[in-house]
Structure 1
């Protein structure tokens, strides 16, 4: 992931949802997605898949940023991702950021939170386990 707002480092799926790097919180990218028809599920609410996509993108973003910081290159392969939907995402901007809970030589464990108005009140969380294969 590059500087704030730079979309080229994001996957085509993330770009299709309109996900952007909003800002950096230290070394951690904070992502955002605006509410529009692309991410709408039931009227005036985010589709669960769009919320899951935001969480997953934020998880890979924090891992990629840390690997770049360490000078490591790896192909990231998902082992699993578990999403907990805590409340409905309403028709406004959503944000997400991840935190690496364990970074090993071959795998990483990441927790991610998505929120709208208040980071202390997440709308969804995720736990990701990612394999880091040699590039």
Structure 2
């Protein structure tokens, strides 16, 4: 895929950071608002697709490698398994009373970020996993098109 015009590259440079920030917002607030790890991961991967479209396959492959995305995807899957299956209730209780996550919430979903216990870290891991998987697919498909 060839790189696009200067206008498309300029718009990509302007929009890439807001796309990443919005995707991370959706991931982090996924357990208290509509959205979550999957939706936020796809939004962040959309930024990677935009870079590949605007700057072309050759230049974008310098910034995003398939090996790094595959490693990130594998790491997120292993950490998700550890947090979900091995940590479970103990990890949720361990995180809940710390300075980072604060005291246990009173009432049903008071709307704080830490109100989901272990769901917050799980949403973040799902977001990283989906981002890496979709980005990996974009990278592989762009390399197939280039050949």
Bigger Rg, structure 1 or 2: 2
Structure with a larger share of its residues in strand: 1
The two structures share one fold, judged by TM-score above 0.5: no
Q: Return the TM-score normalized by structure 1.
A: 0.31
